[in-house]
Structure 1
Amino acid sequence: MTHLATLYQTDYAQWAQRNAELLRAHRFDELDIEHLLEELSDMSKSDRRELHSRLLALIAHLLKWQYQLPTLAERWREFDGRSWRATIVEQREQLADLLRESPGLKATLATAIAAAYPGAVRLAHKETRLPADRFPAVCPYSSAQIFDDDFYPEE
C-alpha cells in the first residue's frame, strides 16, 4: 500500500490536500488514482441521492396539498397549509441550487421524478392517512410544474 493510500485510511483531509498539491504540480504518477476515482464516483452518487430525497419531499407535499388541504381547510378554517407551503418553497429552492451547482443532473430529471414518485406516494399516504390508491399511479406533475414557484395543484 502506498503512503497516499495509507493516508486515505488514516487522515482523509491530509490525503485530499496532498493529492491536490500533486495535481497542481502535474505529478500525476504519484496520485492515489484508485481512491480519487472512488471519491469522484461518490460525489456523483451524493448529488443523485440529494436530488432523489428533495424530489421525494417536494412531490409528497404537492400530493398532500392537492389531496388533503381542501379537506383540512373545510374542517379548520384556520388551516391554510402554511407549513406545507414553506416545505414546498424550501425544497424548490434547494433543488434549484443543486441543479445550478450540478447542471448535469438536469438530464436525469424525468428518471429521478419517476423514481422518487412511489416513495412520495408512500410518504403522503402515511402522513395523510388517505388510501394509497387515492393518489395517481404515476406522477401527475410535469417537471415544469414541480419546479414552478407559482404551481400549487388543486384537486
Structure 2
Amino acid sequence: MTARLSSTTDTNNLYSRDYYLWLSHTAQLIKEGKFNEVDAVNLVEEIEDMGRNEQRAIESNLVVVLLHLLKYKYQPVKRSNSWKASIREHRRRLRKAFSASPSLKRYFKEVFDECYQDSREQAADETGLPLDTFPTFSPFTPDQILNPDYLPEE
C-alpha cells in the first residue's frame, strides 16, 4: 500500500527522504494517471541512470570475457576450467542483455576497444606478464567474444 502524500512538495522531498517509498508512490501516481503529481525531475534522473547501469554491465561483462581470453591465450600453462566457466558466464550475460535490449549491441561495439585496453592492463596485473605481451589491439573480434564455442589457440 502506498502512503498518501499531502502535496507535490512532499512528493519532491520524498526522493531524498525515503527512496523506496518514492519509487512506490511514483509508480502509483503513474498507474492512476496523475502525471502532474509525478516528481518528473527525479524520475528522469532515475530512468537515465537505469540506462547507464545497463551500459556499465555491458562494459563489465565484456572486460571479464576479454581478460580471461587473454589469459587463456597468453598463459596456456595456467589454463583452468574456472577461466572457461567465467568466459561462458559473462558471454551468457551479454547475450541475455542483447536479447532484452538489442540496442545495447551497438554500445558493445562502441566501447569494445576501450574495454580491451582495460582488460589488457588487468591481464598484465593478474598474470605478472609485461603489458607488451598483450597486443595493443584486440586479437579477438566482437563476434569471437560472443561466440559460445570460441577459445583462442596457443
Pair in the same fold by TM > 0.5: yes
Cα deviations by residue, 1:59-85 (Å, 9 ceiling, x for unpaired): 01001111111xx1xxxxxx6521111
Structure 1 stretches of at least 4 aligned residues deviating more than 4 Å after TM superposition: none
Q: Give the Cα separation in 1 of the matches to 2:100 and 2:17.
A: 30
8 Å contact from structure 2 (residues 59, 108) kept in 1: no
| Higher relative contact order, chain-length normalized (CA < 8 Å, sep 6+) | 1
CA RMSD, Structure 1 to Structure 2 (Å): 1.4
Paired residue secondary structure (1:103): coil
Equivalent position of 1:103 in the other structure: 102
Q: Percent identity?
A: 35
Q: CA deviation at 1:100?
A: 2.0
8 Å contact from structure 2 (residues 66, 119) kept in 1: yes
Q: Give the Cα separation in 2 of the matches to 1:51 and 1:109.
A: 7
Q: CA deviation at 1:18?
A: 1.2
What letter matches 2:12 in structure 1?
A: A
Q: Any residues of structure 2 matched to 1:24-39 within 5 Å, and which?
A: 24-39=31-46
> Which ranges of structure 1 fall in alignment gaps of 5 or more residues?
73-78
Q: CA deviation at 1:112?
A: 1.8
Equivalent position of 2:4 in the other structure: none
Equivalent position of 2:53 in the other structure: 46
Q: Any residues of structure 2 matched to 1:1-150 within 5 Å, and which?
A: 2-69=9-76, 72=77, 80-150=79-149
Q: CA deviation at 1:15?
A: 0.8
Q: Give the Cα separation in 2 of the matches to 1:83 and 1:21.
A: 45
Q: CA deviation at 1:101?
A: 2.4
What letter matches 1:142 in structure 2?
A: T
State the TM-score, normalizing by the size of structure 2: 0.89
Aligned pair count reads: 147
> Which ranges of structure 2 fall in alignment gaps of 5 or more residues?
1-7
